[in-house]
Amino acid sequence: MQPLITRNDIAKYRQISKSPNDAKLNEMILDAQMLDLQPLLGESLYNKILASTEDYQDLLEGGFYEHKGTSYTNYGLKMVLTYFAYARHIMFSSVTDTAYSVVEKLNDNSRPADISSKKTIYSLNREAAFQVWENVKQYLIRTQHPDFGNCQRTTTKGLRFKKIV
């Protein structure tokens, strides 16, 4: 499966290192595509986009569109996927499977971010992805995109607690 975005696409919206480990980043992108984006789009539309990205450039790249005399902006699926992939990159990219065990790679002159900081960045980027997704979803609804049906899964942004009195 081919990733829909690259390091350069992520760099448009998030600060990301220029390290040469594209294999690890592509792993995060593919995970985000399959586990985050595909449930939002539905299996049919997702597979059509993968089969022919040229036919879905407006959806992927975003842009301006008109609906009932009003101009709107579609942020594009690439932006949605960027936030999901970056969240995964922050949370999981330092963990590597080696012949001896799973380790966290560190340099001699670096200090790892604590897990609470990573979780916060992860959560904030996922929330941003869902907000951008709502914009793209409105584009799909307003333009009555023929391949888009109602989502199979509701978008959740985390746990909600209610106080019982």
Q: What is the pLDDT of residue 152?
A: 44
Q: What is the pLDDT of residue 155?
A: 47
Contacting residues for 86 by C-beta, under 8 A, at least 6 apart: 10, 13, 14, 16, 125
Please state, in angstroms and as integers, the Cα–Cα distance from residue 146 to each residue in 55, 114, 140, 143, 150, following that order: 13, 45, 9, 9, 11
The mean-pLDDT minimum among 51-60, 113-122, 138-147 falls in 113-122
Mean pLDDT along residues 149-164: 57
Measured distance CA(38)–CA(128) in Å, rounded = 17
Q: Do the Cβ atoms of 118 and 88 come closer than 8 Å?
A: no
Q: Do the Cβ atoms of 114 and 4 come closer than 8 Å?
A: no
Q: Which residue has the higher pLDDT, 105 or 23?
A: 23
Q: Which residue has the higher pLDDT, 141 or 101?
A: 141
Query: What are 7-39's pLDDT values in tens digits?
Result: 999 999 998 888 767 888 999 999 999 999 999
Token pair recorded at residue 45: 């539309």
Query: What are 127-156's pLDDT values in tens digits?
Result: 999 999 999 999 999 999 988 875 444 445
Measured distance CA(150)–CA(95) in Å, rounded = 36
The mean-pLDDT minimum among 24-33, 99-108, 116-125 falls in 99-108
Share of the chain above pLDDT 70, in %: 81
Contacting residues for 59 by C-beta, under 8 A, at least 6 apart: 49, 74, 76, 77, 136, 139, 140, 145
Domain boundaries, the chain: 7-142
* Strands 95-97 and 63-67, sheet pairing: unpaired
Mean pLDDT along residues 67-77: 96
Q: Is the pLDDT of residue 59 over 50?
A: yes
Token pair recorded at residue 109: 């002159």
Mean pLDDT along residues 33-46: 95
Share of the chain above pLDDT 90, in %: 61
Mean pLDDT of the chain: 86
Token pair recorded at residue 108: 């001699």
Measured distance CA(69)–CA(83) in Å, rounded = 31
What does residue 125 show for φ and ψ, rounded to 5 degrees?
-70, -35
